[in-house]
């Protein structure tokens, strides 16, 4: 068994209507908050007004930074930091999906750290040293996808360098995560499917990663079981609060699992796709995942057999190896059920780009490549992309 260390410093507040607690929680950190969010969904659903109102009732003033884009960029982070400093805020609230929460993490640590966000990218000036602390951060997740609300990773895209990197730092951990399943009810079916599959891949990848531990296995198995039970229900009926609650829980468990177990080849190959094509994260992952399972199940037969079982394989009389081989087939069944059986070609990828994507992955996704059991050399990754077209 691997040696391991396990720490989860974020306070987790879970439950329907737990958003009502944001005022009393905010009060611990000061009287002025910067709310970091995307342009639309929190306004349209009334969530922004609700949060501003709850804060106001507790005497907390809000400044709003609503410039976060999907796959947030270094430019977005710089804009948020400038506003946090100008408004002299005491704490940050990340309100939205992974994009808003990741941006809020980077804004929280860059508001008190030297240099520029690019200096903290892998291989850059302050990468090894890391940030110098962070403003207190409350994350409020409105998707069930990334697990960002309670982990240390902030994924930021450097558009000029075509790099989409997961910045990992102890200063990235939110102080408090509020997980209110009701806030995910308004997520449309396709985004529910894509984000829910992101949860599945987090759990699955942490489970088969070289860095897996008994802690991450517990979280990952529970998360995969919950996705298998409830993702299709949440896609079909967004108002099914039980299914939404299962997905919210799975989301947080899976995010905690990757925080320590890391991701493997699925994330390693999909980040370059999002960096070049701005594809939704869960869709880019879904385009490559079945090919990865098909070629890598032999790297850990008991675990891939367990994945097949968790995805619904109950076929009698199979050996462990035959069951492990079925993992890809059962994943495809789930993808079809939630209407997300897509290919890289659907996302705009062409064969002449595979060399670029492969090289980009080897430059930017060394961690996930290193966590992958078996071998993942240039030719093997090239093949994964090619078969996923």
Q: Name residues contacting ligand NAD, limited to 263-302 (CB under 6 A).
A: 281-282
Q: Which residue lies nearer to ligand NAD by CB, 111 or 151? A: 151
Q: Which of 165, 166, 216 minimizes the C-alpha distance to 8?
A: 216
Examine residue 147 and tell whether it contacts ligand NAD (CB under 6 A).
yes
Which pair of tokens denotes residue 388? 């996923």
Tell me, by CB under 6 A, how many residues bind ligand NAD.
31
Q: In angstroms, give the least distance from the CB of 365 to ligand NAD.
A: 12
Candidates 49-57, 191-199, 295-303, 360-368; binding stretch for ligand NAD (CB under 6 A) = 191-199
Q: Which residue lies nearer to ligand NAD by CB, 45 or 322? A: 45
Q: In angstroms, give the least distance from the CB of 30 to ligand NAD.
A: 25
Q: In angstroms, give the least distance from the CB of 154 to ligand NAD.
A: 6
Examine residue 189 and tell whether it contacts ligand NAD (CB under 6 A).
no
Q: In angstroms, give the least distance from the CB of 169 to ligand NAD.
A: 12
Binding-site member from 74, 111, 184, 360 for ligand NAD (CB under 6 A)? 184
Q: In angstroms, give the least distance from the CB of 332 to ligand NAD.
A: 21
Q: Which residue lies nearer to ligand NAD by CB, 246 or 309? A: 246
Half-sphere exposure of 342 (CA within 13 A, CB side): 22
Candidates 35-43, 244-252, 303-311, 355-363; binding stretch for ligand NAD (CB under 6 A) = 35-43
CA distance 114 to 129: 11
Candidates 23-31, 137-145, 300-308, 351-359; binding stretch for ligand NAD (CB under 6 A) = 137-145
Q: Which residue lies nearer to ligand NAD by CB, 60 or 187? A: 187
Length of the chain: 389
Q: Which residues of 169-188 are buried (b: 16+ CB within 10 A; e: fewer)?
A: bebbbbbbbbbbbbbbbbbe
Examine residue 142 and tell whether it contacts ligand NAD (CB under 6 A).
yes
Q: Which residue lies nearer to ligand NAD by CB, 206 or 226? A: 206
Examine residue 181 and tell whether it contacts ligand NAD (CB under 6 A).
no
Distances (CA, A) of 78 to 90, 108, 167, 226, 369: 18, 11, 15, 37, 29
Examine residue 146 and tell whether it contacts ligand NAD (CB under 6 A).
yes
CA distance 210 to 233: 32
Candidates 55-63, 179-187, 230-238, 322-330; binding stretch for ligand NAD (CB under 6 A) = 179-187
Q: Which residue lies nearer to ligand NAD by CB, 26 or 181? A: 181
CA distance 73 to 103: 8
Examine residue 195 and tell whether it contacts ligand NAD (CB under 6 A).
yes
Examine residue 26 and tell whether it contacts ligand NAD (CB under 6 A).
no
CA distance 319 to 326: 11
Examine residue 183 and tell whether it contacts ligand NAD (CB under 6 A).
yes
Examine residue 219 and tell whether it contacts ligand NAD (CB under 6 A).
no
Q: In angstroms, give the least distance from the CB of 240 to ligand NAD.
A: 15
Distances (CA, A) of 119 to 19, 148, 165: 35, 22, 12
Q: In angstroms, give the least distance from the CB of 318 to ligand NAD.
A: 32
Q: Which residue lies nearer to ligand NAD by CB, 195 or 360? A: 195
Q: In angstroms, give the least distance from the CB of 307 to ligand NAD.
A: 19
Examine residue 151 and tell whether it contacts ligand NAD (CB under 6 A).
yes
- Site residues for ligand NAD per CB under 6 A: 38, 40-41, 45, 70-71, 96-100, 102, 142-143, 145-148, 151, 153, 155, 183-184, 186-187, 191, 195, 198, 255, 281-282
């Amino acid at each position: 068994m691997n040696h391991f260390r396990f720490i989860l410093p974020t306070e987790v507040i879970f439950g329907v209507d737990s958003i009502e607690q944001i005022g009393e929680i905010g009060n611990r950190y000061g009287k002025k908050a910067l709310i970091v969010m995307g342009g639309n969904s929190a306004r349209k659903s009334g969530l922004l007004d609700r949060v501003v109102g709850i804060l106001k009732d507790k005497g907390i003033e809000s400044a709003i930074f609503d410039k976060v884009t999907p796959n947030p960029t270094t430019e977005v982070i710089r804009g948020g930091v400038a506003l946090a400093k100008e408004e002299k805020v005491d704490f940050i609230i990340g309100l939205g999906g992974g994009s808003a929460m990741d941006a809020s993490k980077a804004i929280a640590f860059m508001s008190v750290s030297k240099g520029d966000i690019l200096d903290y990218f892998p291989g850059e000036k302050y990468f090894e040293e890391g940030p110098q602390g962070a403003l207190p951060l409350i994350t409020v997740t409105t998707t069930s996808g990334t697990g960002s609300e309670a982990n240390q990773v902030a994924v930021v895209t450097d558009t000029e360098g075509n790099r989409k990197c997961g910045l990992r730092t102890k200063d990235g951990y939110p102080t408090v995560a509020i997980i209110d399943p009701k806030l995910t009810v308004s997520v449309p079916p396709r985004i529910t499917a894509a984000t829910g599959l992101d949860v599945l891949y987090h759990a699955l990848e942490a489970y088969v990663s070289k860095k897996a531990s008994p802690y991450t296995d517990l979280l990952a198995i529970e998360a995969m079981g919950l996705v298998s039970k409830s993702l299709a229900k949440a896609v079909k009926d967004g108002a099914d609060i039980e299914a939404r609650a299962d997905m919210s829980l799975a989301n947080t468990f899976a995010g905690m699992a990757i925080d320590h177990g890391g991701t493997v080849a699925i994330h390693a190959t999909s980040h370059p796709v999002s960096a070049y094509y701005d594809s939704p994260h869960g869709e880019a992952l879904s385009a490559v995942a079945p090919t990865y399972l098909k070629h890598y199940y032999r790297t850990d037969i008991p675990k891939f057999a367990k994945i097949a079982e968790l995805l619904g394989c109950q076929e009698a009389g199979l050996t462990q190896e035959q069951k492990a081989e079925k993992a890809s087939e059962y994943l495809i069944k789930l993808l079809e059920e939630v209407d997300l059986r897509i290919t890289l070609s659907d996302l705009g990828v062409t064969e002449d780009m595979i060399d670029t994507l492969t090289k980009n992955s080897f430059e930017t996704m060394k961690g996930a490549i290193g966590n992958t059991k078996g071998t993942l050399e240039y030719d093997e990754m090239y093949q994964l992309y090619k078969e996923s077209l």
